[in-house]
Structures are given as structure tokens and as C-alpha cells.
A and B are shown apart, each in its own frame.
Chain A
Amino acid sequence: MARQDTVARQDTVAGAAATPDRGQPFAALGLTAGEYERIREILGRRPTDAELAIYSVMWSEHCSYKSSRTYLRQFAEKAPATDVLLAGIGNNAGVVDIGQGYAVTFKIESHNHPSYVEPFQGAATGVGGIVRDILAMGARPVAVMDALRFGPADAPDTRRVLPGVVGGISFYGNCLGLPNIGGELAFDPCYAGNPLVNALCVGVLRHDDLKLAAATGPGNQVILFGSLTGPDGIGGASVLASASFGGSGEGAKRPSVQVGDPFMEKLLVECCLELYQAGLVVGIQDLGAAGVACATTELSAGGGTGMRVRLDTVPLRDASLGPAEILMSESQERMMAIVTPADVAEFLAICAKWDVPATVIGEVTDTGRLEMTWHGDQVVDIPPGSAADDGPLCDRPVARPASQDQLLAGDPARLPRPAAGDELRADLLLLLGSAEGGDKAWVTEQYDRYVRGDTVLAMPEDAGLLRVDAETGLGVALATDGNGRYCLLDPYAGTQLALAEAYRNVAVTGARPLAVTNCLNFGSPEDPAVMWQFTESVRGLADGCRQLGVPVTGGNVSFYNQTGGTAIQPTPVVGVLGVHDDVRRRVRSGFRESGGRILLLGETRPEFGGSLWAWLRHRHLAGRPPSVDLDAERALAAVLTSAAQRNLLLAAHDLSDGGLGVALAESCLAGRTGCVVGRPADPATFLFSESAGRAIVVVRPGAEAAVVALCEQAGLPAAAIGETGGESLEVAGLFSVPLAELAQVHSGALPALFG
């Protein structure tokens, strides 16, 4: 019955031409009057309901990047000269050559709004979506990571959101069989109504396996495969991801969140890889935001062709869906492939082997038009590029907020600093026992980090490290970093600090940093102050990548992260990928042997602006973030990589949130060995400053001269600060903390809050 209704009352192309004045709900779909007028100009008539659906999702902020596109061009314009990119920005994900015929593809994407509305499914489908992006490049997905940010750890709503998000990632990623090898967990009041859930996936392929999202070859068939299409997530891209939350009423948006089936995704992954292996795929695209609308427009625009689609052949989970709903549905675990007519039978047979439903829904044409029919009536006839590539551009006002000067003026140098041994000890334990600075095992133990058997390093190491080739030891390292506090104080420098930290984290393992992805989380682009933060951040990242010689391969922008008029701290999350020549020489962060000399590499200055110590000890967030010296970062990374490859190090650990004190404690706990460091001249700066460009290393016995020589060559300060060994963390003449007490404090915070 329902089906007949949807057949009867469809708005056809002919009908649209005949009823030019019929009112259409463009505003409810998130389009402005100007954008609606432009659609009418492009088509020379009013759009049909189905066409309006396509434009509304494709021209949403989420899909069209209308506020950000102009600025993101800097990533290409300022890109360093490189020959490692096999596919760059604009594809589903960038592809990087790592040598020996291998390439890797990686990308990070946000699922912030769905994760607030429905934490479990929102986070789960965030993992699913990014995995399909990687799969669509022709790669086997091999690992995931996630960067999470929540409101205060002790806030009641965090107890709803955090366990749900972690549970969703655990449920989906574990069932899919992808090791979770790292990420971040941060807390700040600014994320209370708007958590950040950024999921990263990395995949491996051979150079020849690269696939592109292009529908080429008129006459080739269009196959939709994977889960059936249902009403879930309709309008997710336009309604959820492209608007701010009001103060309340998130329940009304609940139907816009999708529901994930990781079992189907696992089958889809294995099925796709077998299809690739058999050479049956001409072009492929995953279905994510904007579902069939996005896949058909992008594939046909990408191929410079046209496409004819019979929408009534899309297999449905809910027979009452009409064409506009089918186009907008964000049902998960679906892919669209372009296949030659001769290969269709074999393609369908492989899908059947994996129990993956697959249906031919149309064919590629040479008309340059995307045409769709519904039981024989034409309901869509548009130039696909007009929806996929030529979306509106918004020239948003940009203005540095007046409050910025006030923020910079709040000099943290005036904060009282601990000096006596017991004060220093108390402050160190305050940082280590906080949700921000404490052990993250409550979260990371819920993720499978071992599956696939190639995980060489995972949490709590500075970076995840995967073996790619067991014969040669070739591997890839990945780290993500972001720091909203630094970026609030100075979005340009703060973004470069995030980049530098991820770059350093990769180098600490012994890998050579190679390429960058990013997920730019900001408030509403309609706020000129937010646009200023955004433009500064993008400029900082583009300049930083050029200086470090690592290209941006792709990324994602998430705007409207705010509740009411209050935006989150600007939070660009930067992912850096590095290549490890031999993972058997990986360097871990833990102190595992006694009697090793600890060297502090890099320069320490009294820098507390935006620091964890200033925030936790004084609730102070003002002043300048640590200074950025990317040449020094480059020198440090070169030393770390070279020392690892020459097997000179027993351990290495990056210094970041909380400074040296936290880093020493983490290394003691990770390797279950204490340390003694000499009495510093300025203990508070020594322990808690967050000067960038630093790491601690433990040198192999007899290798100290070689490490020092490497540092001298690179112009990098290196100071011997102590030795590993014993059962406590001791700062000579000031204080000592037994490892058992350290462990108890460090591991206590999250279980106390979340059970």
C-alpha cells in the first residue's frame, strides 16, 4: 500500500516544469533563498523534490565545504615539493608512497554531532564511515585511531556521553577486526555540549591497486551493494552536521543518527578486497554523508560522464521510502561500484559468496546528465558537477575577536609556582591523577589492539606503529594531536604545535614523518571570530607543513561545534603518518632497564601558557602558548629517527601535556622501572613547562657519545638529566614517589569516575 502511495505522488521533471510556482521547503532542508534561486537557474525550472534533496545535501556545509574551501586551497598551494603522494586532496583519502611497492592511505573525520545525540551509534558509525573511505581507495583497512574530547570528566552528562562513545567505537572497531592503535582523550568544559569524536583509519595497498571515484565508460553498470537502504540518517549531513545545537531538544534530531552493523561492514571489506583482486571494479565510491545522492553525483562528475539510475530498483529495508528519501538516506555499510557489463555476473557471484546484497541500479552514459527514474517517470535530470563540484561559496566575515588581546595579556608568569619538594610532588601527583593527565587504560582496554597481528606499538605509546611487510620490517607510524587550549590562545601557533607534536610522536618511535591529515573542529562559521580562528589555523597548518616538508593529503572540516552562542575552543586535530624502515628497531617509551642515562633533548623555557599545570593547578588559561620552532622540531625528529635506526636508544618519549614530570612518570610506569634525576635550578619549569620540540631518550650503554654527537651535528641541545633504575621516581634533593604510589594515582582517575 505504502509503495503505491510513493509511486502515485512523485514530483516528476515534467511536473516541475509545468508547476513552476509550487512552493518548496528549501529552508527546512537547510538551503538559503539565494541557493534555491541558483538551483532554479542551473536547471531552468524549479527542481523536483528529488533534485531538491540532492542539492540540499550536496550543498550543505558538511559536503560542499562552502565556508572553508577557499582557505583549504592553501594546503595545495603551499604544499612542499614531494614525490610521495600518489593521490592527494579531493579524493576519498590521500595516498602516500612508502616504498617497496607499498602505499598507505589514511584520513581522519569527525562524527561530533551524532555522537552527542546518540553517543554509542554516533561514534560507532563514525568508525564505519572512515573505514569505507579507506576501502574506496582500493586499500585494505589495517587500523583505526580515535581522538576524543569531552566536557569535564566529572560532569553528569560526560558519564552519559563518554561511556557511550567508547562503547560504540569498541563495538564497531572490534567486531570489524581492526586494531585500535592510539589516539587522544581530552576533557574541557568547552566540549560539554559538543564532544569531539574524530576517527582515523589507515589502509595499505600496492601501487597498482589504487582505485578512484570515477564513473567512466558509457554502458558500464552501476551496482549498489551492502546493506539495504532504510530511513536512517535522512538529512544527517544537512540537518545535523551543518547546524548548531540549540540549548535543548537534541531528542528531536535523534532520527537523523544512523545505526551501524559492523558485521556487514566486515563482509563488505572482505568482499570489496576480493572484487579488487579479481579486477572487477572500474570505479568505486563509499556511501557516507548524503548516501546515494553523493555517490551518484560524485562518481559521474568524477568520470566526466553521465549516469542513468532507476531509483525504484534500490533495495529497501522500508518499502514506504520515496525517491527523495532514498537519495538522502545515510544507511550505513553501502558501496557503489562501476562495473563493465561483461563482469557483472562475476561481480554478483563474489558478493553472493560473502552474503552481501548487490543490485544493478543503473548505467553510465555519455550525456553529461545525472538522470533518475522512479517507476518509469523521470524525477532527476541535472548536470552532476553542479551538485558535486560547483556548490556555493560563502564569503564569511572574518574578525579577530577583541577578547583575544585580553586573553594574551593574562601572563602565566605571575602564577605562584611550587618550589619546595613537597609542593612539587603534590603538583606532579595532581597532574598524574587527573582525568586529563592520568592513565587512559579504562578507555583503551575496551579496544582490540592486537587483531591482524601487525601491531608493533599501540597505546600508551606516543604513536601507533604497524608492520606492513614481515620480510623487510617496513612499517608505518601514526599519531594524532590537538590542543584546544593552545589554539584558543593563538590558533596559528596552536595548530603548528599540534602538527609538531604529532610529527614528534611519530619520530619518537624511529619513523620518518611523511604526510599529514587533519580534522578541523570549530564553532559556527557564521561567527566572524570563529572564522578568524579557522583561517589562522589553516594558515598555520599550511605554513607548518611546508616548513616541515610534509604535505597535507586530505582532511575534514567540522563546523557548528557549539551550543547556543558558545563555540568550542578551536580544535584542529592533526594526524601525521611516518614510515619506519624496520619496525624491529622500534623505540618504546618505557624505562625497562636500570642504569640507562636519560638525556633531555631540546630547549626548556619557562612556558606555562595553556599548560596542563596552569589549567589544573590554577584554572588559568591565558597568555601565550609555547613558542614554535619548526626547524628545531625537524632537527629533533631527524636525531630520533637516526638514533633509532642505528639502535642507539633503549627508550624515547615525547614531552607534551604536563611537561617533563608527567613524561618521566609515564616512562617509569610503562617499563616498571624508576629513575633518579638531578636537582634542577628551576624545578617548576623543569617539571611542568610545556616547551615544544623536546623528548627524553634513554641511551644504550656505550652509545651516549654517539647520541650526543648526533645532537651536536643537528644543533640540538642535549642534557644528561639522570639515570633509570630503582623503585621510585626521584628528583634529587626535592622529592621521591614510589612506583606503587605513582601507579595508584595514575591509574585511579578514570575508573573512579566511570566505574
Chain B
Amino acid sequence: MTARIGVVTFPGSLDDRDACRAVRHAGAQPVELWHGDASLHGVDAVILPGGFSYGDYLRCGAIARFAPVMGELIPAAGLGLPVLGICNGFQILCEAHLLPGALTRNAGLHFVNRDITIRIENATSAWTREYAAGQEVSVVLKSGEGAYMADAPTLAVLEAGGQVLCRYVSGNPNGSVNDIAGVVSETGNVAGLMPHPEHAIDELTGPSADGLGFFTSALQAVGV
């Protein structure tokens, strides 16, 4: 039996199809979840994909956070379900208070789409255990509100507790504090990433195949 990984589609989700493809490449079965359906359909892990849910109206992720499916997801995450939010998904997880901090407008005030390198800082989480700590991977950044921010006490906790999942290397593209590209919950199962690993699963359509490790890690974590 293969692992079943749910990918939620909100109105305005864009990279849902890509997340499903990455899940399939990793050897798991993608399960499409609908924002209005208050059920996780028994999946083993969940991805909140990139996009502009609700057109980014009000604030990125602020409306999606109240979708019926989130009513199921939030308690399940508390019970240890692996959840990965990518880009807009990361913003939704912050709005839902499943992850600390917030994503703000890029330092340059422009949307930035660039092939970038990140360093994996925590290689024990549900989404990074296939990597080695310190490993540098090539992925895609594409966001307008990708600058990670948190107050000093929160940052201190994140840094001390190994909750910084990965960092930008060779240049900070958006002004994120401490070059943070991704964070993970204290429990290691809920991760948020501003870069897109699902766009780096082969060298034909992405800069590398380095991003696949996030998805194969989840497979290992759910142990199905």
C-alpha cells in the first residue's frame, strides 16, 4: 500500500497540480482535497499548495485559514499529521497559528521568481529527513510576500529549538529575517516553505531534482 498524500485546492490555488505531480514522482498517491469539504478523507499527510487563495484579498492566507477543510486539518496537525505549506500554504499555516511568524512583502517590493539555493538546517522533520543537515539544494522561489518575520523572542526559540528548517544561501532574495526560507513546528510534523520544491523534481521543468526529497521524506515519515 502506498502513502496517500492530500493536496488541498482553495479558490485561487495554483500549484496544486504541481504538488500532486511531485507526490506521484515521490511514489505516493496524491489525493485531491477541496476547501469546502470538511474531511481529510483519511490521508496520511497534507500539502497546502502555492497560489493566491482568495486572490490574496485581505491578507495572504487570511481567508483560506477559515475554510471548512482547515477545521479538520488544524486538530489533525496537533495530533501529529505531517502538513507542508508551500508559499501561499506557508502563509495559511502562519495565519492558522500552526506555525509562528508571518510572511510580509518582499524587501524589493517586487514579485521574485528565481532559481535559488537553500541549506537544510533541520534534517529530522517529517519533510526533510531524506536530506543531510547542511545540504544545499536548488529549488525555485516565486513570491511577492515571502519575507519571513517574527519577533525577537520567537526567533530565539526557533533558532535554539532547531525550528529553522532551511535558509537562503548566496543572497537573501526577499529580506527574510535570519535568511529563513522555511520553519517547522516544535513537534517536527508541520512545515512551512517559501520556496517551491514541487517545481524542482526534474531537470526538464525545473532547475534540479533536489526538491523531491521533501516529498520522499514524508513518505518515510508516515511509514506506509
Contacts and interface: CB of A to CB of B under 8 A. Distances in A.
Contacts of A366: none
Contacts of A586: 204
B142 A448 contact: yes
Contacts of A151: none
Interface size class for chain B?
Answer: 20 to 34
A192 interface: no
B14 A177 contact: yes
A380 B157 CA distance: 70
B205 interface: yes
Contacts of A266: 11-12, 14, 52, 55
B117 to A, nearest CB: 14
Given A267-B11, A456-B205, A450 B55 contact: no
Contacts of A323: none
B112 A445 contact: yes
Contact of A446 (B18, B111, B204, B205): B111
Nearest to B207: A450
A451 B55 contact: no
A170 B111 contact: yes
Nearest to B201: A453
Contacts, number: 86
B196 A452 contact: no
Given A450-B113, A450-B199, A262 B55 contact: yes
Interface string B97-115: 0000000000010111110
Contacts of A746: none
A264 B142 CA distance: 21
Contact of B110 (A355, A446, A449, A467): A446
A755 B106 CA distance: 14
Interface in B26-57: 50-52, 54-57
Interface string B183-212: 000000000000010110000111000000
A263 B142 contact: no
A266 B16 CA distance: 13
Contacts of B110: 167, 170, 445-446
B58 to A, nearest CB: 12
B17 interface: yes
A446 B52 contact: no
Interface in A713-755: 755
A429 interface: no
A450 B206 contact: yes
Nearest to A583: B204
B121 interface: no
Nearest to A265: B55
B18 A452 contact: yes
B180 to A, nearest CB: 21
Contact of A263 (B55, B108, B144, B198): B55
Interface in A91-127: none
B205 A454 contact: yes
A448 B54 CA distance: 18
A584 interface: yes
Interface of B: 11-12, 14-15, 17-18, 21, 50-52, 54-57, 108, 110-114, 140, 142, 144, 196, 198-199, 204-206
Given A174-B52, A177-B14, A453-B17, 13 more contacts: A175-B56, A262-B55, A263-B12, A263-B57, A264-B55, A266-B12, A449-B113, A450-B113, A450-B142, A450-B206, A453-B18, A453-B198, A456-B205
8 contacts: A174-B142, A175-B56, A264-B55, A266-B14, A267-B11, A446-B110, A452-B17, A453-B18
